Amino acid sequence: MPALAAGEAYEDWTARFQATYIWQAKPGMPADYSGPKSLKAARENSYTATTTAYLGFRPWQGGELYLNPEITQGVPFSELSGSGGFTNGELTRTAGTRPKMYRQRLFLRQTWGLGGGDEAVEADLNQMAGTVDKNRVVLTVGNFSTLDVFDDNRYAKDPRVHFMNAGFMAPLAYDYAADARGFGWGFAAEWYQDDWVLRIGRMTGPKEPNMLPTDSQIFKHYGDQVEVERGHTLWGQPGKLRLLAWRNRAVLASFEDALGYLKANPDADPQAILAVRRGEKIKYGVGINLEQAINDDLGFFLRAMKADGRTETYAFTETDASLGMGLALKGTAWGRGMDTLGLGYARNSLSKDRRAYLEAGGISFFIGDGRLSYRPELLVETYYSLNVWKTVFLTADYQRMWNPAYNADRGPANFFAMRIHTEF
């Protein structure tokens, strides 16, 4: 254990909890037509409820072992169909009105110090208070989410406390390997050296795209990623820039094959990706992630990513190029320093291969209106998070989506939401 200054916190074990309830309403929206995977034109309600325990202890020096059991329930809009960006990033973890308990995470984190001075670690979810060397190597092994390690951003990351739309949780074009809930098995290694961080990792994906059972053949079917992070100071304010590249190898359908099947079999099931899903395919993408403090209360974020777009979605959403950006402002100026006001903009688009498949009447896993008048899907989201008592926050949220599922013949759609969240 590193030497601690007088009064500095250190934890040998942790038991923390979170609970979040999100309710959303969508008024009726205009639609010239609808298909089997369309966002419904009629009024709808949606909700999610999650309760999670974050349990951990230190089995030896530098080691941390964590277990996260979680209980979830919820109902999505239109059976989770009809848009590129899910309006609630929690929706993939829920499956009906009856509460279900599952093991969310079970992983070991090992840290080796390399000097460079002490750096304080504050107590948090899946993080015990203490100190680490500023220069260090960290290995995470087990059952966790790729997003636990990669593509962090202090202003837009967690739909439980930040923006709700999945387009601000991660770049939508990041089709990272995971089961249907967003978790998998694998490893991630991080090397911290002064203001630089290098991360590499490999994770398991689903046996079938977008499904829950995990493919354990991690040397045959997998998702790899590498990320470089650089911390900096700009105009006297801290920021970080991250570059991320990823590559998946799995049994996937190519849109070129699916389109060919549709043309050759006009009376067949329009979800042609199921008929041509055979043989291993490679899917890859690159992206950039920026977080920048403008002053002590205002921060800016930007994510942009481009995927190759030749194959179907592996585990995330129906997007091949994405841009998300926005601002987060603390309420210090009006005497509410624990409150946050957020404003975000997202633009999601499709590759020419996926677009041609949908234009021909093809149906994908989450989208498919039967035909397509293509335009990028656009979204604006704003929220106000009110600190009502200690660690209890009540959030009002509004989203407006143009061209849901990339279709100019449908929408715009409006979404109103309330969220209550607590951690202890």
> Taking the model in full, what pTM does it have?
0.95
Q: What is the rounded CA–CA span in Å between residue 116 and residue 93?
A: 40
Quick check: 48 pLDDT over 90? yes
List the one residue out of 197, 177, 173 whose CA is nearest residue 187: 177
Quick check: 6 pLDDT over 70? no
Hunting for tokens 């002053």 — which residue is that?
Answer: 295
Element (H, E) at 262: helix 255-264
Q: What is the pLDDT of residues 330-374, one digit of tens each?
A: 999 999 999 999 999 999 999 999 999 999 999 999 999 999 999
List the one residue out of 50, 54, 18, 53 whose CA is nearest residue 127: 54
- Number of Cβ within 10 Å of residue 217's Cβ equals 12
- Burial (CB < 10 A; 0-12, 13-18, 19+), residue 291, is buried
- So where are the chain's domains? 14-423
- Number of Cβ within 10 Å of residue 224's Cβ equals 16
Give the three-state DSSP class for 135.
coil
Q: What is the pLDDT of residues 148-199, one digit of tens each?
A: 999 999 999 999 999 999 999 999 999 999 999 999 999 999 999 999 999 9
Quick check: 90 pLDDT over 60? yes
Q: What is the pLDDT of residues 227-281, one digit of tens each?
A: 999 999 999 999 999 999 999 999 999 999 999 999 999 999 999 999 999 999 9
Quick check: 210 pLDDT over 60? yes
Q: What is the pLDDT of residues 301-312, one digit of tens each?
A: 999 999 999 999
Quick check: 13 pLDDT over 60? yes
Peptide bond into 376 cis (omega under 30): no
In CATH terms, 14-423 corresponds, of 2.160.20.10, 2.40.160.180, 3.10.180.10, 3.40.50.720, to 2.40.160.180
